[in-house]
């Protein structure tokens, strides 16, 4: 403890804490957290080399408190947070409960601005274009409900978009008389130009907005968002981008996408606390987008109007800063390379069997860490149930009108041994079927 106190003192943390009125409790800070980030940052090698370095990823895995009696291959739904992200949130929550009306509103709420600036800097946009929400659905519905539409106006999306977002537009259909149009795209889609063409061909004189996934949750398919935005902008049609699975999953910036609206959950691939999301709105679009909950007229052009949800915890958002620090230590390119490596590790082995196919492309840039696997002759739900009951391997069954299969989404803490167990369990089913 003496060494740790000396280390923290050298950083000036006690003085910082005293100046802000925050009690300084070194015992609540994880020594592991202090050691891990510098270790990860000091590691050298190309992203491809690091992706195959099991010692490096073994260090990464130590940051998580996952139960190793289970194999979690559904990190796409919601991810566990590293232990020091959890500790930070608990620390902020403890402080907020000392005198919430003061500690939370007067001290913690202003500190969200530092996290806002860091998130904007990481993804190449203006801090005044970044709002914190509770999840991607809230961010997306802010855009979907916030745009003025008239009866007969059309909104365009695919048949593979997230059901809640499809239902959001269907509710506007029932209530306001707008028209939802959906197109089919190939599964997997390996021609970016074809995807853009399918959207463009579906545009009519009444099309007012396009909703598009950056990464489709069903298969992990990555859509050509920049090209789609460019096409739609020529026609003066805004594109709402559903980035729930994309941000912090693979290496890109919002600046390079050049989109007007982007929504994501931070509790997926950024490993932030559960119940954290982000909404990006280009600065010149903020004033014309209504917030989900009412805000004062004086806030019309303020990105913070999208954060007007009543009393809410500050701790969740403040701990996003710890998650961002972890992401930066991993480095986006190395993280992407590792997730692709893990996907190929299990997928290429299963594809050696004639009855196995993928609803996800393995071509570079078409997907990343998520893939959807189909086993011919085995019902998807039966396979999912067997893997969980017998092997304690948690996967996601996808039963869509156009395809079905198991969605597999390992994470940075997933071990090769766990993927070996998954592959061997599926191979046993291929040989012997699902036990009655």
What are the phi and psi torsion angles at 176 (to 5°)?
-120, -10
CA atoms within 13 A on the CB side of 282: 14
Give the class (CATH, top level) of 111-325: alpha beta
The answer to whether residues 406 and 384 touch, using CB atoms and an 8 Å cutoff, is: yes
Q: How large a percentage of the chain has pLDDT more than 90?
A: 90
Least confident of 8-17, 28-37, 271-280: 8-17
Distance separating alpha carbons of residues 144 and 141, to the nearest angstrom: 5
Please tell me the predicted confidence (pLDDT) of residue 58. Answer: 95
Where residue 43 falls among pLDDT bands split at 50, 70, 90? confident
Please tell me the predicted confidence (pLDDT) of residue 34. Answer: 53
Distance separating alpha carbons of residues 300 and 221, to the nearest angstrom: 36
Tell me the C-alpha to C-alpha distance, in Å, between residue 146 and each of 176, 185, 291, 310, 394: 13, 27, 6, 18, 37
Q: Tell whether the torsion through CA atoms of 245, 316, 253 and 333 is positive or negative.
A: negative
What are the structural domain ranges in the chain? 111-325, 333-432
Condensed to tens digits (0 to 9), the pLDDT of residues 339-386 reads: 999 999 999 999 999 999 999 999 999 999 999 999 999 999 999 999
Cis peptide before 334 (omega within 30 of 0): no
For 80, the 3-state DSSP assignment is: coil
What mean pLDDT comes out for the span 222-227?
Answer: 98
Where residue 44 falls among pLDDT bands split at 50, 70, 90? confident
Is the confidence at residue 160, as pLDDT, over 60? yes
For 74, which DSSP code?
B
Please tell me the predicted confidence (pLDDT) of residue 23. Answer: 37
The answer to whether residues 245 and 229 touch, using CB atoms and an 8 Å cutoff, is: no
Please tell me the predicted confidence (pLDDT) of residue 11. Answer: 36
Where residue 16 falls among pLDDT bands split at 50, 70, 90? very low
Structure-model confidence comparison of residues 358 and 39, the more confident one: 358
What mean pLDDT comes out for the span 67-81?
Answer: 97
What mean pLDDT comes out for the span 281-298?
Answer: 97
Output the DSSP codes for 231-293.
Answer: HHHHTT--EEEE-TTTTTTSS--HHHHT-SEEEEESSSSS-PPTT-EEEEE-GGGSTTS--SS
Burial class (CB in 10 A: 0-12, 13-18, 19+), 349: middle
Is the confidence at residue 31, as pLDDT, over 60? no
What mean pLDDT comes out for the span 36-58?
Answer: 89
Where residue 32 falls among pLDDT bands split at 50, 70, 90? low
Where residue 152 falls among pLDDT bands split at 50, 70, 90? very high
Please tell me the predicted confidence (pLDDT) of residue 436. Answer: 82
Please state, rounded to an integer, the average pLDDT across all residues of the chain.
92
How many CB atoms lie under 10 A from the CB of residue 89?
25
Is the confidence at residue 29, as pLDDT, over 50? no
Please tell me the predicted confidence (pLDDT) of residue 407. Answer: 98
What mean pLDDT comes out for the span 88-109?
Answer: 96
The contacts of residue 422 (CB under 8 Å, 6+ apart) are 71, 73, 346, 387, 391, 393, 408
How many CB atoms lie under 10 A from the CB of residue 216?
28
Is the confidence at residue 3, as pLDDT, over 90? no
For 333-432, CATH number?
Answer: 3.90.1150.10
What mean pLDDT comes out for the span 183-190?
Answer: 97
Is the confidence at residue 2, as pLDDT, over 90? no
Condensed to tens digits (0 to 9), the pLDDT of residues 383-402 reads: 999 999 999 999 999 999 99
Where residue 25 falls among pLDDT bands split at 50, 70, 90? very low
């Amino acid at each position: 403890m003496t060494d740790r106190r000396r280390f923290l003192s050298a950083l000036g943390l006690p003085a910082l804490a005293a100046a802000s009125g925050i009690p300084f409790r070194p015992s609540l800070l994880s020594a592991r957290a202090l050691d891990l980030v510098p270790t990860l940052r000091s590691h050298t090698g190309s992203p491809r080399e690091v992706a195959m370095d099991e010692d490096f990823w073994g260090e990464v895995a130590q940051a998580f408190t996952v139960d190793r009696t289970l194999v979690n291959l559904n990190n796409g739904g919601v991810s566990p947070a590293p232990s020091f992200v959890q500790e930070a949130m608990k620390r902020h929550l403890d402080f907020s409960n000392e005198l919430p009306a003061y500690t939370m509103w007067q001290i913690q709420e202003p500190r969200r601005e530092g996290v806002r600036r860091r998130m904007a800097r990481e993804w190449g946009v203006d801090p005044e274009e970044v709002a914190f929400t509770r999840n991607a659905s809230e961010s997306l519905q802010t855009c979907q409900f916030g745009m003025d539409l008239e009866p007969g106006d059309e909104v365009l999306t695919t048949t593979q978009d997230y059901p809640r977002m499809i239902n959001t537009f269907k509710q506007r259909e029932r209530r306001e008389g707008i028209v939802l149009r959906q197109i089919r795209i190939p599964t997997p889609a390996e021609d970016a130009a074809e995807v853009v063409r399918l959207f463009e061909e579906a545009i009519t004189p009444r099309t007012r907005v396009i909703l598009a996934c950056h990464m489709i949750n069903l298969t992990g398919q990555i859509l050509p968002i920049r090209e789609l935005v460019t096409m739609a902008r020529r026609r003066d049609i805004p594109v709402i981008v559903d980035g729930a699975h994309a941000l912090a999953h693979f290496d890109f910036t919002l600046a390079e996408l050049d989109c007007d609206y982007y929504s994501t959950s931070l509790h997926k691939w950024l490993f932030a606390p559960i119940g954290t999301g982000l909404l990006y709105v280009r600065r010149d679009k903020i004033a014309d987008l209504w917030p989900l909950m009412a805000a004062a007229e004086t806030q019309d052009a303020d990105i913070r109007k999208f954060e007007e949800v009543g009393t809410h915890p500050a701790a969740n958002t403040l701990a996003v800063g710890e998650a961002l620090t972890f992401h930066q230590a991993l480095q986006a390119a190395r993280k992407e390379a590792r997730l692709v490596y893990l996907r190929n590790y299990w997928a290429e082995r299963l594809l050696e069997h004639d009855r196995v196919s993928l609803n996800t492309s393995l071509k570079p840039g078409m997907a990343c860490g998520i893939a959807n696997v189909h086993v011919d002759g085995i019902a998807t739900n039966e396979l999912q149930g067997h893997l969980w009951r017998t092997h304690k391997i948690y996967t996601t069954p996808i039963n869509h009108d156009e395809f079905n299969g198991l969605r597999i989404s390992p994470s940075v803490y997933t071990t090769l041994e766990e993927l070996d167990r998954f592959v061997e369990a599926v191979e046993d089913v291929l040989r012997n079927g699902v036990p009655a």
